[in-house]
Amino acid sequence: MTTKQKRYESLVQVYNKELYRFAYWLCQDPTIAEDLVQETFLRAWRSLDALQDDSAAKSWLLTILRRENARRFERKQFDYADVEQDTLVDATSASPDSQTEQMMVQRQINLLSPEYREPLLLQVVMGCSGEEIAQILELNKNTVMTRLYRARNQLKEALTQVTETAKGASN
Amino acid sequence: MDELEFRRRLFADPNDKDVIAQADTDSAKQRLVKEMQDFDATLHSALDISVPDDLVQKILAKQQADTDTSSKQSAEVKQLAWYRRFKAPLATAASALLAVSLYFATSVHAPLKASEHALQHVYYEAEALALTNEVQLQVVNEKLAMFGGKLESMPGKVTYATFCNFKGQRSLHLIFQSEHGPVTVFIVPTDSNDAAGANERFADERFGGSIKPGERADTILVANLDTPLEQYQTAVNDSLRWL
């Protein structure tokens, strides 16, 4: 096996799971998430020589993945299916009883606006530092820290409200 | 670091060492640190969805395929070089010609026939034919209710149900699984001024189809060539009720 191949495979082993999770929460669709991750690694393979320092690999892969995701919206879609009514995957139709805490948390995270959600995902799912997030999102670090603060603040408030409503309803 | 700054930094990063150090002598702050770290553990576990087992294999297979094609390409590059120089402008000219002729073909002279549209539509959403999860009849009927219709039953397990645009008419696109493979059904309401017309059979090298005009809606079926379409067409039409 070539050195390049070995290097590539170890990148795949280390980052595939985290990247998939990040991609999933970014687009909220398992099939698209899988495509995004595969495409990201394929592009990474093609330009692996450009990655000089492996400690920058995570940011590099995330940058590729975000670009791929943005490309998805640029591609012209053939307008056959009516998107608003598409109910192929119906994951959220569970009864209120089975709405566990986790689902409530997931729901609230999805309700965050993208500018708050994305830095939070990078921090919690990808374990990125403030500096790394700033670099990936091309923002300054103070902006990133403010958004992270607001993201947690909003989540906490929303979840407190939801829990209290649930308690009220069960009384 | 004042209270507000402490709170802001802790919320931005509950594992920030400087912030945690600040809480050392203050039990109220320690409680908040603990609370935020617990909160992050909750977030972490909520986001920790399972990853497909074969993801790594798929990634490596894709890369391997890419490596194979690119080494093959570099071997062929010399022989192809002269040809490629002409290919690009020719392809551009050809695609421009195609675009122009398609424009005239579709917009001026011959509007796409329902049969052609049905086939094209099935090819376009070919991936949907492979779906296997059942869509409950109730879900189908919720959609169909928007046209004032209802299906008593379907001649097979429904695996796809979505609204679609059939030649500009909002329609229902269904797929059910028959013994002969997936059968696509379009239910196209007929209040459009571009109705399908008479009973019609059509086919290409892969699919056969049939159109049955109805008072409220036309039903169009498309399926593999050896499928007994009449039987399914009758079954679908007989179970279709209108309010």
Report in angstroms the alpha-carbon separations of B243 from B78, B151, B191.
68, 11, 15
The pLDDT of residue A85 is above 50:
no
pLDDT for B81: 56
pLDDT for A87: 36
Of A92, A151, A98, nearest in space to B39 by CA: A151
Closest chain B C-alpha to A75 CA, distance in angstroms: 16
A9-13, B11-15, B37-41, B213-217, range with the lowest pLDDT: B213-217
The answer to whether the Cβ–Cβ distance between B47 and A121 falls below 8 Å is yes
A58-67, A85-94, B223-232, range with the lowest pLDDT: A85-94
Residue B79's pLDDT band, with cuts at 50, 70 and 90, is low
* pTM above threshold 0.95: no
For residue B39, the chain A residues in CB contact (below 8 A) are: 152, 156
Q: Which residues contact B212 (CB under 8 A, 6 or more apart)?
A: B199, B218, B219, B220, B233, B237
**A 5-24 residues with CB below 8 A of B?**
8-9, 12-13, 16-17, 20-21, 24
Share of chain A above pLDDT 70, in %: 81
Residue B127's pLDDT band, with cuts at 50, 70 and 90, is confident
All domains in chain B, ordered by first residue: 55-104 (no CATH), 107-242 (3.30.200.100)
pLDDT for B105: 57
pLDDT for B75: 58
pLDDT for A73: 77
